[in-house]
Amino acid sequence: MDGGVQSNVSYRIEEDYLGSKAIPSDAYYGISTARALELFPSTGEHFDDHFLWAYFMIKKACALLNAELGMLDESISQAIQKACDEWEILKTHVVVDPLCGGAGTSVNLNINEVIANRATEILGGKKGEYIVDPYNHVNLHQSTNDTFVTAGKMAVIVTLRALVGNVIILQNTIQDKEKEFYTIRTVGRTQLMDAVPIMMGQQFAAWADALTRDRWRLNKVEERIRNVNIGGTAIGTGIGAPKEYILKIVEVLRSVSNVKIAKAENLIDATQNLDTFAEVHGLLKSLAVNLYKIANDIRLLGSGPNTAIGELKLPAVQVGSSIMPGKVNPIVPEYVMQLALTVFGHDEIISHACAQGNLQLNQFAPIIVHYTLKSMKSLQNSCKALKEYVAKIDLQKGRCEEHLQSSASNLTPLINYFGYEKVSQAIKDANWDIQKAITVLAQSEGISVQELLNKLDINKMTGLGFV
């Protein structure tokens, strides 16, 4: 017997072809999991609940179909199905680290053992007796290579729908602010320098439209991620599984989970090529890009507020400094920006991992699935936090008007009358004082200041076309 034994803990002994090991008596996992715990020290990472739910539903569907085909005893099938329905309790016994080696084999074995031991209890046995066997019963006609990837895709589909819902709520909140601020004009900025006027509502509308594209992209990508390789077993050839099972398992799993999955046309392709995850995560990165930009823009427009732009009145949601009194910081935009940066990093990891699969299997499925789902969680949190924050934003209307009236870019329409060079020279001669520039230009052209002002109408500068 290998492995240390603590005197204050009760153990049972389990054996495999590598030897024997002491397992805590109350543990639903078994010897394969125990070996994995020794091999893969914890990173502190945890599996996403949607992934675990999907994996248990796969095991339930397989048990159901195998019984229907007469290949699994009905009592054993029922016990497995009941155990799978207890996944929210049993998930705490899935203790293998998400970033484990072996293409996810340790995860599959961990889940098999947990289900087998719980199903054994349901049939009146004790943990470790394995009336229900983790290999011959729970894993019947399956491989890690088709179950892990399928569970990952199912989890992504479910999470995608929730994420799109969060994007919609954030978009609606931004559009509410678009309507609220639509009549308020301020100075646009290019390269952080004064530019031509813009209505603040137009800026909010631009942010909302960016999120519209994200919604569309994320909705469409579900069409590619829903093609799963369950039934393909080890490498997509279906070895070890009867043809009837291979043809029916997706339909049964779809019924059990209510997730709209479809059997991949080429199971070999779907087993070894995980580019759909790279595609999905690329679109997650696009959303992260837009959230980063929106959050940073809010941060800039609220900066100061007395010595910088200060046009947005950012909500005071937390004391801003441990030493500077009265300080309010843009903590929520910065939170969103940090989460976006993690998504950028995950995208790099996933791109490399998807490309590094060798021949008939991508051995890096665990990190691909795990970080895809982790990015989705980060983006959900970002949308939720930013929605609450945006709803509380107000305008410093006086500050907007002050900036608007002092911007030399307001003279841009005059180039249609006097040419670019003359207007630029007048601005320079007036040392970028807009009122002086108007006077200088009027004098140079031999017209009154009022005549010149009649050619300028700030209210018309935020529409399409020239004035």
pLDDT (tens digit, 9 = 90+) per residue, 231-278?
A: 999 999 999 999 999 999 999 999 999 999 999 999 999 999 999 999
**Tens digit of each residue's pLDDT (9 = 90 or more) over 440-452:** 888 887 888 787 7
Judge if 68 and 97 occupy the same domain: yes
Domain harbouring 259, CATH code = 1.20.200.10
Q: Do the domain assignments include residue 5? A: no
Q: Which residue has the tokens 């900036």?
A: 403
Residues 181, 98 share a domain: no
Which of 378, 399, 420 is at the close of a domain? 399
On whether both 94 and 241 belong to a single domain, the answer is no
Q: Domain for residue 318, yes or no? A: yes
DSSP 3-state of 23: strand
Residue 465 lies in a domain: no
The answer to the question of residue 466 being in a domain is no
Same domain membership, residue 67 and residue 23 = yes
Same domain, 153 and 230: yes
Q: Are residues 154 and 197 in the same domain?
A: yes
User: Is the domain of 286 the same as that of 432?
Assistant: no
Number of domains in the chain: 3
Q: Look at residue 467 and tell me if it is in a domain.
A: no
Pairing, β 227-228 against β 193-199: unpaired
* Residue 344 belongs to domain spanning: 146-399
Residues 6+ apart with CB under 8 A from 297: 203, 207
pLDDT (0 to 100) of residue 377: 97
pLDDT tens per residue, range 68-122:
999 999 999 999 999 999 999 999 999 999 998 889 999 999 999 999 999 999 9
Mark whether 119 and 178 lie in a shared domain.
no
Does the predicted TM-score (pTM) go above 0.85? yes
330 & 235 share domain: yes
For this structure, is 321 an active site residue? yes
**Domain final position from 140, 161, 193:** 140
Is position 346 within any domain? Answer: yes
Q: What is the DSSP string of 173-224?
A: HHHHHHHHTTT-EEEEEETTEEEEEEEHHHHHHHHHHHHHHHHHHHHHHHHH
> Residue 153 domain-assigned?
yes
CATH number at residue 97: 1.10.275.10
229 and 193 both lie in a single domain: yes
Do residues 160 and 98 both lie within one domain? no
Q: Residues 373, 243: one domain?
A: yes
pLDDT band at 338 (very low <50, low <70, confident <90, very high): very high
Of the residues 10, 20, 25, 321, only one is catalytic, namely: 321
Q: What residue type is assigned to position 245 of the chain? A: Y
Domain end point (choices 112, 140, 168)? 140
CA nearest neighbour of 94 among 42, 142, 145: 42
- Residue 317 three-state SS: coil
